[in-house]
Amino acid sequence: MRQTDVDLQAFQTKLPVLDSLDPEVKHATLQREVRQVGISSSWKRVLNVLAYVFIFISILRRQRRSRTVSPSLEDLTCTEQLIVKEFQRKYSVSDKELVPLDPFVDDHGLLRVGGRLRNSNLVDEEKHPVIIPKSTLALLLVRHHLEGVAHGGRYATLNSLRQKYWVIGAARIVASVVHKCVECRKYRGKASCQKMADLPSDRMSPSPPFFCTGLDCFGPFIVRDGRREVKRYGLLFTCLASRAVHIEVLTDMTTDCFILGLRRFIAIHGQLKVILCDIGTNLTGADRELREAAKELDMKRVEHAVMSKHIEF
């Protein structure tokens, strides 16, 4: 005899005999247990927990000879049938709510939907799905199939559910579960639209091309200079009024290279009024140097191609 059998027999001998009339004994039903476990659980978890409970009971009653304790497919199927039977207790074949479904009781004692599909090539579960009343079990099954279709929405969940179960009032239950599902709201929620401010006057006033200009740098790009590869950057100018684009090439991202690119741009397009840009280090450095150079040139009263234009940078 194995050690586990000895322990099991010792445990069975210690089990007290409970009187059903004793007021201290609490009578639990499977519906209440499923309702308590399933409020914040999943259908798989409830099924596995109750399967382990039934396995433990069968071991105590010496009804299980298998050495494995983990639930098998047969255990899970039997557990599912017991749960469904418990929730179908309040229904009968002649119930007014079920008469339109033409219900019948199958070989396992489950209420199923009738109909005229007996001779079709469909699976038996699809021909005659199991009837599920409005209950905690219905919510668990709807959540389970919603996850099974990767939160695909109401119709995908309903189609997946009706391949095996016929939930009373399924459309409303599925709509409620999908509406409360956080994942579905993430996937299908509409992005909030920020109310944009009024357009600046520089973009609305008629002006020559590049009279009001926005600029930015981008890159780097690897180019070949003889036998070596070097980095080159782009200096992008865009007209605020006409959206025209002009691109200058920079050898690096220093302030000196930026000033040279700006001078080439001014030499081509002429007079500028406003230049808008971000606060890049090379751009702010160019702004500082241009302001200092403008002060010196104003004192010396020397005409310069850039500084004499009085550009707002």
Q: 85-119: per-residue pLDDT in tens?
A: 988 887 777 788 888 898 999 999 999 999 888 88
Q: Quick one: DSSP state of residue 100?
A: G
* Residue where a domain stops, chosen among 188, 214, 243: 188
Identify the domain containing residue 63 by its residue range.
1-12+23-86
Domain end, chosen from 37, 65, 86, is at: 86
**H or E stretch covering 166:** strand 165-167
Per-residue pLDDT tens digits for 168-227? 999 999 999 999 999 998 888 787 888 888 888 888 888 888 988 988 888 889 998 888
Total of domains in the chain: 3
Q: Is residue 278 part of a domain?
A: yes
Task: Give the CATH number for residue 162.
Answer: 1.10.340.70
Q: Name the pairing type of β-strands 228-239 and 130-132.
A: unpaired
Q: In sequence order, which residues have a C-beta less than 8 Å from that of residue 148 and are 6 or more positions away?
A: 160
Of 130, 155, 188, which closes a domain? 188
- Answer yes or no: is 197 within a domain: no
Measure the CA angle with vertex 163, ends 157 and 166; round to 5°. 85
How many CB atoms are closer than 10 A to CB 287? 16
